[in-house]
A and B are shown apart, each in its own frame.
Chain A
Amino acid sequence: MERREVLKLLASAAVLPALTPDAFSLLRGMHAAAAETPGLKALNPHQDATVTTIAELIIPQTTTPGAKAAKVNEFIDLILADWYDDATTARFLAGLADVDQRSQKLFGKDFVDSTPAQQNQLLKVLDDEATVARKQQAADEAASRKHALAPLNFFGMMKKLTVLGYYTSQVGFEVELHKSIIPSSHAGCVAISGVA
């Protein structure tokens, strides 16, 4: 990304509420660092570890595989590199950095180095904030009839991508939801107890 574009992004504070002063180095380092993570294009190893950890906290392994097994991090990397526009990707990465800042402030450690209990505590705060932000965004978009590419709140983005990445994966579709491309039967209205 060019410096000029970064400055433009920083100037548009309205769409970048979570952008931190670290954005310069984040954005400049984005492509260079990506090479350090085999197979990934947008996330450096630390970012990838953070994304993978958060995704697994949202959809953990239970009796069925979770987000990590479904490689949700790879899907998120693809969206950041090839689907989001630069501003949205920058906003996501800034939000990711903010998670570490908050974790440092609260626990003196980066998010991935915190205990599961600490991680859950911070995630609860992020989720509550995302719920408020989602309602505000929905109201604003209904009024303006203009829809952003993605949730404006970082955790809103993270959760949406995690849910999408998981349930559209083979693991999510076949193992978690027991679905098949060609349904075994069809009927309009059947009791769930009667469904195998």
Chain B
Amino acid sequence: MIDIEPLRFAWTRGGPDTLLLGRLLVDRGQTVFLHGPSGCGKSTLLGLLAGVLSPRQGRVSLLGQDWAALKAGQRDAFRADHVGVMFQQFNLLPYLSVLDNVTLPCRFSKLRRERCQAAGGPETAAQSWLQRMGLPEALWRRRADTLSVGQQQRVAAARALMGQPELILADEPTSALDAALRQGFMDLLLQAARDAGSALVCVSHDEQQAARFDVQWSLPALQQAGVKA
């Protein structure tokens, strides 16, 4: 489903390569644990997967669609349809309610809205994902910024899952959480991604979690492979 053909990426034109990767594939529904030291280019790789960044050489395609073949506007629409994202923190619009935050992707993607229709509409789908992420119902109508960081991450996960996008990108989703909460959160996220049939690429420092993913990518190792290729 994700197909990375050997690629080079540099932040500046003519600058040194930040990423140098060999061929990489991710299947539908597969979960990928992406790790490596800080600054090795993990977020850059996520940017490439999301079609926000373009490689200098090589190709990144999602669902058989080469990102580079799309115009900027088409990339935005394609991403809105097929990719759910969540970050370390500041995922939510503070002034919207939890439910409104979760239904946001349906406002911008017709495809995901239609998929939610099968579950009874965006609102119902949102409630069901929030339930699956273990967020107490009492919080659903509260303003997003009244929630704890841990609760906010669950909301962000529920939002990424809305309309079951084929790919979910999570950039250190647990690093703002207490160690005690990480395990539980990751359990819920992995299970929910499987339920949704979405592939999950998760950047994390927490190597204890690695074994629970289908695939582990160590970026430094991938880089070396890229150099050899």
Question: Do A and B originate from a single complex?
Answer: no
Which residues of B are at the interface with A, using a C-beta cutoff of 8 A?
A: none
Which residues of A are at the interface with B, using a C-beta cutoff of 8 A?
A: none
